[in-house]
Amino acid sequence: AREGLGPGAVALRGWALALVPALLSAVDQVAEAAPFRHMVTPGGFEMSVAMTNCGAAGWVTDRHGYRYAADDPMTGRPWPAMPGVLRDLAQAAAEEAGYPGFHPDACLVNRYEPGARLTLHQDRDERDRGHPIVSVSLGLSATFQFGGLKRTDPVRRIPLAHGDVVVWGGPSRLFHHGILPLKDGAHPLLGARRLNLTLRRAL
Ligand code: MD3
Ligand code: FE
């Protein structure tokens, strides 16, 4: 069932549930080669969300800024290849949402523990922001904040639960968004954790 969240943004609730075991083993495999780490923002703050990447390009931040890089700065090696289950899920979800021909080359994996948050921001580091972004939520539910083009636009709160897939395209692609501090809890599969995968066309 498609649920419109905003202009060009479509939620596919529970769409990834049947793939959860395959997705979790894909994330484990990625994290074995490229461990989760807390990156530093250009302003010098350590992010509360732990991150890793797979695919031809990975999103990184350090004192120099935000960018996509072919190599993991922690290991000096290329990011692990994008597992087929992630690529195929993203392509199928994008098509279901009305964006055929989506071929992601970057997957950012965000890991939240209780208290971790992502402040309101725009995603503008991708070369062609005409491509959608596909997000997959796993583990504890989070409260997603969804604003508008301007930082001061009103913000709605939308729950994102285990297995939810959301495709963010069209005007929504540039809307401000964030994640409120994760509440404590215990998910049957992931414990006190939330994982979010964002699949993108970065290059
Ligand atoms: C709306 N991640 O990685 S996923 C991010 O749950 C990010 O970890 C959040 O924001 C998370 O940049 C939110 C949903 C999401 C992802 C990208 C978007 C919503 C978006 C890009 C544009 C608009
Ligand atoms: Fe974002």
Ligand 1 pocket check: which of 5, 12, 133, 155 to mutate, most ligand atoms within 8 Å of Cβ? 133
**Could you give the CA distance from residue 49 to residue 160 in angstroms, rounded to a whole number?**
16
Residue 1 has pLDDT above 90, yes or no: no
123 lines ligand 1 (CB under 6 A): yes
Question: How many domains, the chain?
Answer: 1
198 lines ligand 1 (CB under 6 A): yes
* 197 annotated as a binding-site residue: yes
* Dist. CA 76 → ligand 2 center (Å): 25
- Residue 20's contacts (CB-CB under 8 Å, 6 or more residues apart) are 138, 162, 163, 189
Q: What is the pLDDT of residues 51-76, one digit of tens each?
A: 999 999 999 999 999 999 999 999 99
Query: Secondary structure of 176-191 in the HEC alphabet?
Result: CEEECCCCCCCECCCE
**Could you give the CA distance from residue 163 to residue 20 in angstroms, rounded to a whole number?**
7
* Dist. CA 125 → ligand 2 center (Å): 10
Q: What are phi and psi for residue 116, nearest 5 degrees? A: -70, 145
- Average pLDDT of span 170-191: 98
Domain that holds residue 61: 2-200
| Domain at 138, CATH number | 2.60.120.590
Ligand 1 atom nearest residue 110's Cα: 8
Which pTM value belongs to this model?
0.98
- Average pLDDT of span 127-146: 98
Q: What is the mean pLDDT of the chain?
A: 98
ipTM of this model? 0.99
Task: Give the strands of the sheet with 2-6, arranged side by side.
Answer: 2-6, 9-12, 165-168, 133-139, 194-200, 106-112, 50-55
Q: Which two tokens stand for residue 187?
A: 């998910």
* Dist. CA 196 → ligand 1 center (Å): 8
Q: Which two tokens stand for residue 126?
A: 């991708």
Q: What is the pLDDT of residues 28-37, one digit of tens each?
A: 999 999 999 9
Q: Which residue puts its alpha carbon closest to atom 22 of ligand 1?
A: 173
Q: Which stretches of the chain are assigned E, i.e. beta strand?
A: 2-6, 9-12, 50-55, 58-62, 65-69, 106-112, 118-121, 133-139, 142-146, 156-160, 165-168, 177-179, 194-200
Neighbours of 203 (CB within 10 A): 13
11 lines ligand 1 (CB under 6 A): no
